[in-house]
Amino acid sequence: SQTIHQWPATLVQPVGSPLSLECTVEGTSNPNLYWYRQAAGRGLQLLFYSVGIGQISSEVPQNLSASRPQDRQFILSSKKLLLSDSGFYLCAWIRTDRNSPLHFGNGTRLTVT
């Protein structure tokens, strides 16, 4: 069966520090991968999308970046965090065949102080 792992679960970082969040998917190959951010009262915001290794689409201009070094690994990074980067970050994957549901990881609660 397919599973998705996302870590860390919580993170407290000072302003200006770097960030690296990691997500891996097991039990499937060549999934589409997503990074979403969820802020209180604002719903889910799509940040990055990837259809394959090294292929990243950015939906929102910001100081975050994403990389996909392996087929089932998706990394969210920042060189210098801002206070506004605080939020709940969710990784998700979906099969590319017809009508596959979207599956989420358990999320990372990031607090920038």
Partner 1 sequence: KQEVTQIPAALSVPEGENLVLNCSFTDSAIYNLQWFRQDPGKGLTSLLLIQSSQREQTSGRLNASLDKSSGRSTLYIAASQPGDSATYLCAVSRYSGGGADGLTFGKGTHLIIQP
Query: Which residues in this chain contact partner 1 in the complex, by CB under 8 A?
Result: 6, 32, 34, 36, 41-44, 46, 49, 57, 59, 90, 92, 94-107, 109
Closest distance of CB 4 from partner 1, Å: 8
Residues 52, 68 contacting (CB under 8 angstroms): yes
Quick one: 15 or 39, whose CB is closer to partner 1? Answer: 39
Quick one: 15 or 102, whose CB is closer to partner 1? Answer: 102
Closest distance of CB 17 from partner 1, Å: 23
Residues 105, 75 contacting (CB under 8 angstroms): no
Report the candidate in 90, 77, 80, 82 with the shortest Cα–Cα distance to residue 112: 82
Closest distance of CB 51 from partner 1, Å: 8
Quick one: 18 or 47, whose CB is closer to partner 1? Answer: 47
Number of Cβ within a 10 Å radius of residue 83: 9
Residues 68, 55 contacting (CB under 8 angstroms): yes
Quick one: 19 or 105, whose CB is closer to partner 1? Answer: 105
Closest distance of CB 29 from partner 1, Å: 13
